[in-house]
Amino acid sequence: MIKLNLPREPHWITLAAGVRLQVRPATTALVMAARHAASKVAGTDTAAAGERTATLITELAKLAVIAWEGVADDKGKPAAVTPDGVAALALAAGRCLRA
């Protein structure tokens, strides 16, 4: 069952493969910051639109994720939450969804 509540405090969400993310609530400021980053992607074709969408999702994740569990570095050690790490997780999640 999916509960349609909008938490106002950081909360945990569970993804596949034992990954959990602690995220900030999706405030207007957070979404607008991500939209601003996505608006910098130039072009009007379909490829540019896809890149803007991917940028928006990645920027939302980079701004929202504050902790995680079940994410390891290339040596199998727990990975620190960094903007690059969150971007890599978003990319990996996108690949899983397309598979």
Structure-block tokens of residue 29: 């400021």
Residue owning tokens 């979404």? 31
Q: What predicted TM-score, i.e. pTM, was given to this entire model? A: 0.83
Tell me if 5 is assigned to some domain: no
Residues 43-58: pLDDT tens digits?
A: 888 888 999 999 999 9
The whole domain housing 89 covers 11-98
Is residue 4 in some structural domain? no
Q: Give tens-digit pLDDT for 3-16.
A: 777 888 999 999 98
Number of domains in the chain: 1
Please give the Cα distance from 58 to 56 (Å, whole number). 6
pLDDT band at 98 (very low <50, low <70, confident <90, very high): low
Q: Is position 2 within any domain? A: no
3-state secondary structure 28-56: HHHHHHHHHHHHCCCCCCHHHHHHHHHHH
